[in-house]
Amino acid sequence: MTYKFIDNVTMADVAFEAKNKDLNKLFEDCGLATFDTMINLKKVKSKIKKEIKLQAENIEELLFKFLDELIFLKDSESLVFNKFKVKIEEDKIFKLNCVANGEEVNIRRHDTKVDVKAPTMHKFKVEKKNNSWSAFVILDV
Amino acid sequence: MELKKPQLKKISNTEWEIPKSFKKGMNVPARIIGTEAIIDSMDLRVYEQISNVATLPGIVNYSFCMPDGHSGYGFPIGGVAAFDPEDNGIISPGGIGFDINCGMRLVKTNLTYKEVKPKLKELVNNLFEKIPTGVGRKGFVKLNENSFRDVVEQGVKWCVNNEYGWKKDLEFIEENGCMKGADSTKVSDKAIKRGFSQLGTLGSGNHYLEIQRVKEKNFFDKEIAKKLGFFDDQIVIMFHCGSRGFGHQIGTDYLQEFLKVMEPKYKINILDKELACAPFNSKEGQDYFKAMKCAVNMAFANRQVILHRIREVFSKIFGKDAENLGLDMTYDVAHNIAKLEKYKVNGKIKELLVHRKGATRSFGPGIEGIPKEHKKIGQVVIIGGSMETGSYILTGTDKAMEKTFGSTAHGAGRLMSRTKAKKMFVGEKLQKDLEEKGIYVKGASMKGLAEEAGDAYKDIHSICETLELAGISKRIVSLEPIGNIKG
């Protein structure tokens, strides 16, 4: 796990920062941080596999779309995930393939926390520095 | 970047101004409503954000922050700003919030505390069972994507036609429960898919449903309190929720769309991506306004079907029908919304697009758009406090029309971040402490409960006192919690 929640950035929302040398793993960490905001990840069983395919013009847009899609699946199919396998390819545009593992939410079993409404663009950032990737995200809850 | 508190100009004991010179690009000054003590406790990002809002095109008079304000993204929570569509005025999803038409509803009963107390736990447990709360929950109204489109275009009228409400409920909802001009073709399939199974769900975070006790000693204006149907030891029900995933997705979709066109097409430069906007009189601006209205109607309908559930539960537990229990609406009012309203600007009446993000409409007596029965007293304003400290019913004033584009506060306002609150409080202990104080709380999440501890919020009493001192609302009665369900 290479993400941490950051205090003192936003009063009513949730901010996190992820760091990883591997871009694929950075995206996986951001997915985990998003569900860590909503549930106890340890209590989720891998019962359902969901494939996600997305593309975007740049890496920031790709992460935004990825988080938006995860939040969409949480509401439209009541799914929560605790395992991601992401593969990103760059070919003029950025393409993402992800297999997410999880199950339908169960408020009695999953120690639910707070619902995420949306990823926000406030201070949203994905960058590569000294051979390592980092992302900064604020989630509206 | 280290934030500095700007030099605030004192306008009155309850109004403070950030001058245009504070930041390059400010079109108008920013004004914060609050006593000196409230201003001192504001987080510094509020000043940053409210002055960013002042740079947006077409803004009229001032960008405002209400006394319950705290930092958000884009606009602060508690932000109010009016834009003139004839002067390139904009519409911004960040000035409304992702939870479009998050709002408050108050329902009366003719029951007394004595009658409810022995059944309080049963009542709260049943409400918790019948009204889905928390992460990823589905509602009890079975809809498909097509019938959901009817709901979002018709709002509460759809609910009444489908036996989820009484005709007279419509009178006591802002916009009578349906903002005209909602067009579901402007809403993405994704938003429809995300929302159609969520009608009748409370959500989580600071969303709640509360059983409250009226005490005559808490009447600030006895005459108006009685006129609104309050009496000593009465039980009332207040709840707070919005347009759920449907509204959140509309906000997300249009924020992205506006970011794409704002600079290249409309030459608008902004200081924070969450201030993404488009001219109100543009295709993108109008499309968003029509989509936003769908979310507004969805939220009104959501609160309506929740009321239907409340009526069913009370009816079952007290063995009487809801009519006989007097389960009538007091009012339903939005606090995340943008609306076209008329105001006098430099001596001329103008139609402006007023954004309220964590701010409540506060129309004074006689203004069009408030229920006939409330015409003489002004529009009812519902301000929810934390689950420990109680809530307030106020009325709108003429002064709010003159000063703050008919707007006032919406809640207590956070004082402590969620992360910090989680470190300071433990949900289970909080629940036990509250029970000892006579407040029975049932929550979907113990961690979520800790984040909503009373001490994480500003003092609701001083917020409402400030609103009255500033003249933008008038206190009628404060209400004490006895039971609460939380998402």
Kindly determine whether residue A112 and residue B43, on different chains, have CB atoms separated by under 8 Å.
no
Residue A3 region by backbone torsions, left for phi larger than 0, else alpha for psi between -120 and 50, else beta: beta
Tell me the C-alpha to C-alpha distance, in Å, between residue B2 and each of A9, A138, B45, B305, B453. Answer: 12, 19, 10, 47, 29
- Give domain status of residue B96, yes or no: no
Domain presence at residue B97: no
Q: Which residues pair with A118 in a beta bridge?
A: A140
Contact residues on chain A for B451, CB-CB shorter than 8 A: 114
A64: phi then psi, degrees, rounded to nearest 5: -60, -45
In a domain, B473, yes or no: yes
Any domain includes B17? yes
Counting residues of chain A whose pLDDT is more than 70, the rounded percentage is 99
Catalytic annotation on B248?
A: no
User: Which positions ≥6 away from B283 have C-beta within 8 Å?
Assistant: none
Given a contact cutoff of 8 angstroms between Cβ atoms, the answer to whether B291 and B187 are in contact is yes
| Cβ separation A122–B448 shorter than 8 A | no
Q: What is the CATH number of the domain that holds B371?
A: 3.90.1860.10
Q: Closest Cα of chain B to A133: distance in Å?
A: 22
Judge whether B289 and B280 are in contact, CB under 8 Å. Answer: yes
Token pair 């500033």 is at which residue? B470
pLDDT tens figures, B363-420: 999 999 999 999 999 999 999 998 888 999 999 999 999 999 999 999 988 888 888 8
B381's CB contacts (< 8 A; 6+ apart) are B333, B360, B361, B362, B393, B394, B395, B396, B408, B473
Mean pLDDT by 10 residues, chain B (487 residues): 82 98 96 96 93 98 97 94 98 96 98 98 97 93 96 98 98 98 98 96 94 98 98 98 97 95 95 94 98 98 98 98 98 98 96 98 97 98 92 98 98 88 91 94 90 91 97 98 93
Residue pLDDT, tens place only, A66-80: 999 999 999 999 999
- Whether B36 is covered by a domain: the verdict is yes
List strand residue ranges (DSSP E) for A1-141, in order: 3-6, 14-20, 48-56, 79-91, 93-104, 118-119, 125-129, 132-140
Query: Does a structural domain hold residue B1?
Result: no
Q: At what angle do helices A23-38 and A59-76 cross, to 10 degrees?
A: 30
**Can you tell me the distance from the alpha carbon of B231 to that of A76, in angstroms, rounded to the nearest whole number?**
43
Cβ atoms of B133 and B201 closer than 8 Å: yes
What average pLDDT does the segment A86-112 reach?
Answer: 95
Q: Would you state the pLDDT for residue B2?
A: 65
Grouping H, G, I as helix, E, B as strand and the rest as coil, residue B390 is: coil
If one counts the domains in chain B, the total is 1
Interatomic CA distance for residues B136 and A76, integer angstroms: 8
Distance of residue B74 Cα from the nearest chain A Cα, in angstroms: 7
Nearest CA in chain A to B99: A117
CATH 3.50.50.60 for the A3-140 domain, yes or no: no
Grouping H, G, I as helix, E, B as strand and the rest as coil, residue B44 is coil
pLDDT tens figures, A4-19: 999 878 888 999 999 9
Q: What was the pLDDT predicted at A70?
A: 98
Which of B396, B388, B381 is CA-nearest to residue B471?
B396
Distance CA A98, CA A75 (A): 19
Contact between residue B458 and residue B38 where contact means Cβ atoms under 8 Å apart:
yes
Q: Mean pLDDT in chain B? A: 96
B320 touches chain A (CB under 8 A): no
DSSP letter for B57, please: T
**Is B73's CB within 8 Å of A75's CB?**
no
Does the beta-carbon distance from A76 to B251 stay under 8 Å?
A: no
Search chain B and give the residue with CA nearest A117: B248
Written as one letter, the residue type at B279 is: P
Chosen from B138, B202, B263, B418 to mutate, greatest number of chain A CBs within 10 A = B418
ipTM tops the 0.85 cut: yes
Task: Tell me whether residues B72 and A12 touch, CB distance under 8 A.
Answer: yes
Of all residues in chain B, the one with the smallest CA distance to A6 is: B419
